[in-house]
Amino acid sequence: LRVRPGEKVLISTRGRTDMVVMLTGGRAVLEVIEGSEADADRVEMLPAAPIRISPEREHRLVAMTEVEMFTVYSPLERE
């Protein structure tokens, strides 16, 4: 996934489990939203540093520079 500077991208966990994101280039901030956006935790993402995405919370990536990102996940098993 490529994201331009200033863009915000919601990281969806719908239908996914064990999700990990990792930048391969650029700088970004990962916002972990629980409740209101004003209370969001913000973590700077750096290349080659994987971050686990919890399905219980909403996550959003805010690109500070042009960003390249990988997402790796397992699909939820269907019953």
Percent of the chain topping pLDDT 70 = 92
- The domains located in the chain, with CATH, are 2-74 (2.60.120.10)
Alpha-carbon distance values, 24 to 14, 49, 55, 58 (Å) = 23, 9, 22, 22
Mean pLDDT over residues 36-61, rounded?
87
pLDDT surpasses 80 at 25: yes
Mean pLDDT over residues 52-57, rounded?
84
Mean pLDDT over residues 33-54, rounded?
86
